[in-house]
Amino acid sequence: MKIGIIGAGNIGAILARKLGAAGHEIKLANSKGPESIRELAADVGATATTKEDAVTGVDTVILSIPFSAHRDLAGLFEDVPDNVVVVDTSNYYPFRDGAICDVDDGKPEAVWVTEQINRPIIKAWNAVLAATLAEKSVEKLQPGRIALPVAGDDPEKKSRVMELVEATGFDAFDAGVLATSWRQQPGTPAYCTELTIDELRGALEKADQTRSADNRETLIKGFMERGDSLIHDEIVARNRAVTA
């Protein structure tokens, strides 16, 4: 499969490496231009390019950019064929993205993104920490394999993305449509808690939209207070404790 990835930060770069290793042809772009990521792209097995080229001649586009940056992509998909799958990995954090009233009032993040880019998306790889994505993938059928939620309104496109999630070393779980994708947003039991597929199913069912924003802010405040002293397992444990 030919895949364009826009965003060369932690998640975007890890996905480029993993999907490239799985045999996919990867184009990698960022906001600063291909020269700024030429070395990184070579290291992960991708081709550095512009964001315009990253959406041209590909089967799938993965957006791995800060949540508010989707506003800058409004016209990017105008000439991209409808059968090209667009995946979004982002999450809304007001301290970084600024307050977005629609999302604060309950609009699912994935729905807001579709409105900004004028294109339906599949929501995937948003509910996983970069270190988890990089270090905790295992082969299919291994006990304790971590599962990741995938949400979207188009069953065929969602199925294709679930295959890619599996290729990165995690069980893919069909988390339903975009209207209920708030169940995998920050502050919910499914978000960055490293669950098996059965545990993830239960976590998605238990999600409480009225609590998620407060949970998110409580977690961020605590993480900022601890700074660099937090280790990965402590982050996961804290996510589980606050969102339970």
User: Residue 101 falls within a domain, yes or no?
Assistant: yes
Where residue 211 sits, what CATH number does that domain have?
3.40.50.720
Average pLDDT over residues 77-99: 97
Whether 181 and 127 have beta carbons less than 8 Å apart is answered as no
User: Residue 53 falls within a domain, yes or no?
Assistant: no
User: Residue 19 falls within a domain, yes or no?
Assistant: no
Average pLDDT over residues 141-163: 97
Tens of pLDDT along 221-235? Answer: 999 998 888 899 999
User: Residue 224 falls within a domain, yes or no?
Assistant: yes
User: Residue 7 falls within a domain, yes or no?
Assistant: no
What integer best gives the mean pLDDT of the chain? 97
Q: What percent of the chain has pLDDT over 70?
A: 100
Give one DSSP letter per residue of 20-34, joined into a string.
Answer: HHTT-EEEEE-SS-G
- Split into its structural domains, the chain has a count of 1
Q: How confident is the model at residue 229, as a pLDDT?
A: 84
User: Residue 214 falls within a domain, yes or no?
Assistant: yes
What residues contact 20, with CB distance under 8 A and at least 6 apart? Answer: 26, 44, 45, 46
- pLDDT exceeds cutoff 90 at 39: yes
Of the pLDDT bands very low, low, confident and very high (cuts 50, 70, 90), residue 94 is very high
User: Residue 41 falls within a domain, yes or no?
Assistant: no
Boundaries of domain holding 187: 66-243
The CA distance from 243 to 237, in Å, is 10
